[in-house]
Structures are given as C-alpha cells and as structure tokens.
C-alpha cells in the first residue's frame, strides 16, 4: 500500500489534538469557571434588585407588573420577563392576573437584601462618612456582598 498520502496527516492529527485539548481547557478551565461565576453573581444581583424593588413597591401599595419593574429598574421588558420567569421557576415570585407577587421564600430573601442595604447605608454614613448624595447608590452596589 502507498502511505505517502498519510505523511502530512501527522500535522493534522497534532493540530486536532491540540485543538481538542484547548477546547477542554476553555470549557473546564479557570477562564470558563471565572466567566460562569461572574454570570451567577450577575444573576443573583439582578434577582436581589428585583426582589427588593418588589418589596418596596408592595410596601408603598403599588401593583407590581413586569412592565413597571422594567421601567423602574431600567431594563427592557423582554429581559425583565425572562428574569421574572426564572425567578418564578425558582419559586421566588408568583404571577396572578399579570401582577407579580413575592412568595414566602421571595419575601424572606427580599427582607434579607433590604436589611443588608440598610446596614450598608448606616455603615457608609457613620463610619465611612460618605456624603448623603452617594449613600444609596454605594449601598446598592455593596448590599449583594452581605447577601452571599
């Protein structure tokens, strides 16, 4: 048999092997793990912002809809529908006649986030001496740290 055509195949096999190993490293490697962790943290922060907003709107006696949440939180309605859908699947929210409600688990988590927010505001005002104009915004960024 004539194996001369296979002589160049060694390079192709080597390239395919390296490509497969690199692909595995991308899927299971540190960069991929970092990206997945960042995505989970972003989703958690979105959930917490939505839960806290619903709690505040309910306490103010306002009916909460996906559209009102999207407007209040500055997100598109389709994105808010997807996030609320995931939260409903996780039994944090329920929707009845287009009105969004906290479940008992959702309410518990929302209260935790609200307490974390208020703790951060107190700390930033009393200890860090942050100007009042920046307290709320900074506390919104930091509240997710106490809820991890």
Q: What is the pLDDT of residue 146?
A: 61
pTM: 0.72
**What pLDDT shows up at residue 25?**
60
Structure tokens at 80: 């808010």
With vertex at residue 80, the alpha carbon angle to CA 78 and CA 83, rounded to the nearest 5 degrees, is 115
How far apart are the C-alpha atoms of 116 and 109, rounded to whole Å?
Answer: 11
Q: How far is CA 122 from CA 16, 77, 133, 134, in A?
A: 58, 33, 14, 12
pLDDT score, position 24: 59
Q: How far apart are CA 118 and CA 124, in angstroms?
A: 10
Instruction: Per-residue pLDDT tens, the chain, 148 aa: give them.
Output: 555 555 556 666 677 777 666 665 666 777 778 888 888 888 999 999 999 999 999 999 999 999 999 999 999 999 999 999 999 999 999 999 999 999 999 999 999 998 888 888 888 888 888 787 887 778 777 776 765 5
């Amino acid at each position: 048999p004539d194996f001369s055509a296979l002589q160049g195949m060694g390079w192709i096999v080597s390239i395919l092997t390296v490509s497969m190993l690199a692909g595995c490293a991308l899927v299971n490697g540190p960069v991929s793990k970092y990206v997945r962790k960042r995505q989970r943290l972003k989703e958690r922060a979105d959930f917490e912002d939505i839960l806290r907003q619903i709690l505040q709107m309910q306490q103010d006696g306002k009916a909460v809809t996906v559209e009102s949440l999207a407007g209040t939180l500055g997100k598109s309605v389709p994105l808010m529908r997807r996030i609320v859908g995931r939260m409903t699947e996780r039994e944090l929210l329920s929707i009845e006649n287009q009105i969004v409600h906290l479940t008992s688990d959702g309410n518990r988590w929302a209260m935790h986030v609200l307490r974390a927010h208020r703790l951060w505001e107190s700390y930033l005002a009393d200890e860090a001496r942050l100007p009042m104009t920046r307290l709320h915004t900074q506390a919104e960024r930091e509240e997710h740290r106490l809820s991890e």
